[in-house]
Amino acid sequence: MALSPYNYAVRSSDIDTDSERTSSSKVGDYKLGFELDEDELQTNAEYSSGYDRASWSGTVLESSDSDRIVVRYDLSADSREGTYRKYEASQDIDLSSGEKEVTMILTVNGDVLEEYTSVIDVPDEHSFEAENKGTGTEYTGRDTRVSTASAPFFSKYTGSNGHAFFEVPDGRYLVTASKPGYTTDRTTINVDEGERREIGLELEDLRDDREDDDDDQDDSDEEQVVMQEVRIPSSVCEGDSLTARIEVENTGDDDLDYALSATGLGTETDRVYYLDEGESDTKTVTFSNVQGSGNQRVSFSTSYDSEERTVQVRDCETEESGLSASVTPKQVRIGDSIRVSGIAEGVGSQNIDISIGGRSATSMSTEPDGRFSTYIIPNRVGTHQVEVESRDRSSTASVQVLPTVAVNSVGVPNNVFEGEDFEVCGDVESQTAPLVLLKKDGQIIDSKNGRGEICFELNEKPGTYSYEIQALNRGASNTASRTVEVMEQGSEATNFPDQIASVESGSGMVKVELYNNRKELRNYEIELEGLPRTWTAQSRKEVSLNSGERSTEYIYFTPKQEGDYEASLKVRSHDEEIHSETIDISSGGTSETESFWGRFRALVGLN
């Protein structure tokens, strides 16, 4: 993916994530898309897998003139297969008006699964939106939950007459009309199959209400969706699911959209709902595969109101088996060690077997009181289960292993000339494919995904440039840089002057400018032919120049008699004649001629 010559900068790394566990998801199914809501680009990614645990990271790059956007989603997943899950993530970006080129990228464990580019237009016109308010679908899998089915979304811009037409399936729809600087109007309608409906929405210019700004501000302060009650169990077993029920009420004077978010127990979710004026509703949030231990804080928010609850996460397997295990730290870079410790209940020392990701790591004996502690080094990237076994008992703990990244070197040509294509290459080392950025004088100009030798093709004007290659992978970053001098593409040889006038027994000279515009060392031969031998002490010169090097050479002569003569100047390099020219020489004895020659000598700095 080449994005030059634009400059890029990281706009955002915030990402909203969610996951659900079902038995009907198909392994490998994915979605990668975006919607334009006025000037906000709403992007999203989904991936269905058999991975037991996974985590998202996201990156947004924007060109310096804001006309190109790169949105990347990275899913890092455990290689161990478990119950099927669907992992979701979203990122929103505010855009300026105009045509934009949007590139979407989805990677799983460093491998690019999907990549495409679309062109969108962000105009300043009326925008209509329609959203299907679908009902929930209950799955009958091993840890069931009710989730809202994916709802189709329709958006169009009206014509100059303010009309827009939609073809939609039958169902119940929320229709919204909006335009920057105007009020928003919406209504809910039912559309039967084959039915044609016409509705009218009215937008008011906010500039007409300037006198009522203070009153409007007071009214907006009263608009809110509050949580009247949050019901959630006080404890849960690690790895199980937990459901919270939140009663919300719209206490404002207008219908409101609100985002109900929940964070904690290894889950982050954010969903948007609509609530009519004065109405109440109860929403459920399910925390699948609960993570953590001990007392954990769970946070809820509606953007208008927030609540916190504490839930005790218990190791139920340990409570039953009498074997406990913990891992510290829970997140490491590959190659770093982790400490595995715990207690095996029983009498005397006991044998302990420790494995990670299904592969044996070490074996040891506990202390007489059953305590054990050791260090192991994970050798694979991803979220892995560390399993401790003793007799017929077992206990597990999870650890997330992140990749390392290194830019070992940056390779550039030794000599570059104006108008010439050349490559800047970096040797990028990582366990998964990182995002690789190319910077010129501190500004990002291109990006790629990959590892090994990553090359960027360039063509520059004459000058000296500092190129830096930076690799980013799951919070790790490394850079290397080199400086390149781009030389102008000049002539290899030029001479001055092409006519010489001199008095008899005076001095004359030919000036030759040499410039090696080749890649290698060059030898040059300069020869002035056609003059009597007695006029020149040296009619031939040899010069060696490195690539890009310049030199000024002179051949002097002294006329011995009056008259007009022709001399031939030739410059050769490696048996090739690269320059030739005929020089007219006039030798006289008048003071006028001598005065001209004196002025010439002063011009070239020989006096």
CA angle 27, 33, 35 (to 5 degrees): 145
Closest CA to 512 of 532, 522, 500, 498: 498
> What's the confidence (pLDDT) of residue 560?
79
- The closest of 148, 186, 154, 159 to 169, measured between CA atoms, is 154
Domain with CATH 2.60.40.10 in the chain: 222-311, 493-604
Note the pLDDT of residue 571.
87
Whole-number pLDDT of residue 437: 92
Class at the top of the CATH hierarchy for domain 222-311: mainly beta
Q: How far apart are CA 183 and CA 200, in angstroms?
A: 14
Query: What pLDDT sits at residue 318?
Result: 57
Q: What is the pLDDT of residue 589?
A: 58
pTM of the model: 0.43
Rounded CA-CA distance 585/263 in Å is 92
Residue that is written with structure tokens 């510290």 in the block:
328
Only one residue has tokens 């970053």, namely 477
In the chain, where does the domain assigned CATH 2.60.40.1930 lie?
A: 316-392
Sign of CA dihedral 518, 521, 523, 526: positive
3-state class (DSSP) for residue 115:
strand
| pLDDT means over runs of 10, the chain (607 residues) | 31 42 52 78 78 67 69 71 66 76 82 80 50 31 28 54 70 69 73 80 67 48 78 86 90 82 84 84 88 86 85 71 84 92 85 91 90 92 89 85 93 86 94 91 88 93 92 89 86 57 59 81 86 79 84 81 82 85 73 45 46
Per the document, the length of the chain is 607
- CATH 2.60.40.2470 domain range(s) in the chain: 405-487
What's the confidence (pLDDT) of residue 147? 28
* CATH level 2 (architecture), domain 405-487: Sandwich (2.60)
CATH architecture for residues 316-392: Sandwich (2.60)
- 204: exposed, middle or buried (Cβ count in 10 Å: 0-12, 13-18, 19+): exposed
Name 442's Cβ contacts closer than 8 Å, sequence gap at least 6. Answer: 466, 468
CATH of 493-604, one of 3.20.20.140, 2.60.40.10, 3.40.50.300, 1.10.1040.10: 2.60.40.10
Contact present, 49 and 28 (Cβ < 8 Å) = yes
What is the DSSP-derived secondary structure letter of residue 152? P
Could you count the other beta carbons within 10 Å of the beta carbon of residue 3?
21
**Torsion of Cα atoms, 30 then 290 then 358 then 401, to 10°:** 70
- What pLDDT shows up at residue 479? 94
